[in-house]
Chains A and B, each alone.
Chain A
Amino acid sequence: MKEIICITCPKGCHLKVDEESYAVTGNSCPRGAVYGANELRNPVRVVTSTAVVSTSPDKGRETGEAGGGVTPRRLPVKTDRPIPKGKMFEVMAEIAKLRVKPPVKVGDVLIPNVAGTDGNVVATKNLP
């Protein structure tokens, strides 16, 4: 039996999941049973991080425009789907190698199939 806390809703039920049959007890709704079984079978997470922007910082100011300003040093990124929990640090290592050249739009794929998963690393911010 493995004890985990359900994160499907704010209640935070304390679930007990059988390691062999994936039977769940302690849940107060069906969603808890699904979460509990998945969490043991194949726990997945979305990884978010930032990538290096490969232009010189402070190249100029464009005040007055929404979202404008100094060229940022970092571009926020994420995996576009949850990836296996055990691969998180591999994904981070690949993101660390990235050098992003502007322009980039939200959703642009920066690393396809990161760390051998079916997830892609995508931009989460526009970089003009």
Chain B
Amino acid sequence: MTAHELVVIGGGPAGLAAALAAWEQGVRDILILERDNQAGGILNQCIHNGFGLHRFQEELTGPEYAGRFIDLVKQTDIQIRTDTMVLELTEDRVLHTVSPQYGYETFRAGAVILSMGCRERTRGAISIPGARCSGIFTAGAAQRFLNIEGYMVGKRVVILGSGDIGLIMARRMTLEGAKVLACVELMPYSGGLTRNIVQCLNDFDIPLYLSHTVTDVRGRDRLEQVVVSQVDEKRRPIPGTEMVFDCDTLLLSVGLLPENELSRQAGVEIDPRTNGPVVWENRECSIPGVFACGNVLHVHDLVDYVSAESEQAGKAAAAYLRGERPAGTEIRITNGSGVAYTVPQHFHRGTDAVEFFFRVRAIYKNAAIRVMDGQTQIARFKREHMAPGEMENVKLPKVLLDRVQGDTLSVEIEEGAQ
């Protein structure tokens, strides 16, 4: 068994940023374990632009954004082991791995950062009825086939779900010569960023059917037809509204799930609202010395926020390795009306400023975010526009946090605020 000060699981944008932050804080023995054959994670297949507007004030493509972090890592002694799959993480921070080059190995870590990212929901997860033919892919799988391996997955395409990956793939497949017939969304609003609706669907006259879903899949070997129906307010298909599309490919962009098998196995407490670990304000999990950041913690819309969050985790891991432990009693954060979840889920009384990230449950216009200590309002932030597809955040400075009397804060939405 080899020992390292810090082991980072996953060499995507979260792992790279966390490792760099820990390095800058003086940690010199850092190992990143990556299961793919290169670092950079999902950014390698996200060849479109629009990354880094917040962080670098320019529009980069995914590979360019990842490349900047990989270049910085190369200037350090941080080790990246590619082609290495972590099989198990134990509560006392021992990692069991396997790789073609070194076979089975174990590592002992002074601190661990979980940055495994997330996985796409599949056909099985949303129970689409119909034939079990080929031609049905998650949008991300199709993206990998096309952008990394160089294969087109089909010629006539229907996309279910209007998440960003689905929208991006609608444009990408169209540019590569496929006909994208429709993008179908169960909800009455899109789950993707507005800019993607405009640049990926409207630019190519691809219709977006809101409040619709796929109700049948037909085909013997390869997909031949997809049936799309309108749904009512309770998301039940309305008989008589069926549309039939002749297509050979159905792409699914129906949500992402943080990939926490390793975390669960280790006994890390998981929040059922985010499907990610429960963390403190420094991104430390329920197991001391284990930190989480990026999409494994909660699904982000923008990689810029992943990098920022991961730097927090990297810094905190460095502090942990120096023997520093946060003091102060626990203050829990609950989601009040209109709020689906918050990250972090709790923080230490007396800490510095805390930035809360969360998602709202519906579309709000001219609303306000309220942070409540029982019946007392601690802070209020006006927002002209909020949507479930766009992560919100508010930052509470120490002076406000020090006013908290109780042991629970609630983040809630006030409608119709002027």
Q: Please state if B203 and A48 are interface contacts (CB–CB under 8 Å).
A: no
Interface residue? B413 (CB, 8 A)? no
Q: Please state if B176 and A92 are interface contacts (CB–CB under 8 Å).
A: yes
Report which of B79, B80, B199 forms a contact with A7, defined as CB distance below 8 A: B199
Report which of B64, B73, B150 forms a contact with A52, defined as CB distance below 8 A: B150
Report which of A10, A48, A124 forms a contact with B193, defined as CB distance below 8 A: A10
CB neighbors of A among B44-86 (8 A): 44, 47-49, 59-64, 67, 70, 73-74, 79-83
Report which of A78, A89, A124 forms a contact with B175, defined as CB distance below 8 A: A89
What 1/0 mask marks residues of chain A from 35 to 79 whose CB sits below 8 Å from any chain B CB?
000000000011111101000000001011111111011101010
A69 to B70, CA, bound (A): 14
Report which of A7, A63, A73 forms a contact with B149, defined as CB distance below 8 A: A73
Given contacts A45-B203, A49-B175, A73-B148, contact A67 B47 (CB under 8 A): no
Q: Please state if B64 and A5 are interface contacts (CB–CB under 8 Å).
A: no
Q: Please state if A67 and B195 are interface contacts (CB–CB under 8 Å).
A: no
Q: Please state if B61 and A74 are interface contacts (CB–CB under 8 Å).
A: no
Q: Residue on A with the closest CB to B67?
A: A106
A121 to B57, CA, bound (A): 21
Q: Please state if B38 and A68 are interface contacts (CB–CB under 8 Å).
A: yes
Q: Please state if B385 and A11 are interface contacts (CB–CB under 8 Å).
A: yes
Q: Whole-angstrom distance from the CB of B371 to the nearest CB of chain A? A: 22
Interface residue? B37 (CB, 8 A)? yes
Given contacts A10-B385, A49-B175, contact A74 B197 (CB under 8 A): no
Q: Whole-angstrom distance from the CB of B20 to the nearest CB of chain A? A: 11
Report which of B48, B49, B67, B175 forms a contact with A126, defined as CB distance below 8 A: B67
Q: Whole-angstrom distance from the CB of A91 to the nearest CB of chain B? A: 9
Q: Whole-angstrom distance from the CB of A4 to the nearest CB of chain B? A: 8
Chain B interface residue number, banded: 35 or more
Q: Please state if A66 and B61 are interface contacts (CB–CB under 8 Å).
A: no
Q: Please state if A46 and B59 are interface contacts (CB–CB under 8 Å).
A: yes
Contacts of A78 in B (CB 8 A): 47, 49, 61
Report which of B47, B64, B83 forms a contact with A50, defined as CB distance below 8 A: B47
Contacts of B11 in A (CB 8 A): 66
A4 to B195, CA, bound (A): 11
Give chain A's interface secondary structure class.
loop
Report which of A4, A52, A69, A76 forms a contact with B38, defined as CB distance below 8 A: A69
Contacts of A50 in B (CB 8 A): 47, 146-147, 150
Q: List the 5 closest pairs (A to B, CB-CB), nearest first.
A: A69-B37, A12-B194, A7-B195, A76-B47, A125-B63
- Given A49-B176, A74-B147, A74-B150, 19 new contacts (CB under 8 A): A4-B198, A5-B194, A11-B194, A47-B175, A50-B146, A50-B150, A64-B79, A64-B81, A65-B82, A67-B38, A67-B40, A67-B74, A68-B37, A69-B82, A74-B148, A78-B47, A78-B61, A125-B64, A125-B67
Residues of B near any A CB (own CB < 8 A): 11, 36-40, 44, 47-49, 59-64, 67, 70, 73-74, 79-83, 99, 101, 146-150, 175-176, 193-195, 197-199, 202-203, 384-385, 387, 390
19 inter-chain pairs at a CB distance below 8 angstroms, sorted by A residue, are A5-B198, A7-B199, A47-B175, A48-B48, A49-B175, A50-B47, A50-B147, A63-B37, A65-B80, A66-B11, A69-B37, A72-B148, A76-B61, A76-B63, A78-B47, A78-B61, A88-B175, A125-B44, A126-B67
Residues of A near any B CB (own CB < 8 A): 4-5, 7, 10-12, 28, 45-50, 52, 61, 63-70, 72-74, 76, 78, 85, 88-89, 92, 106, 124-126
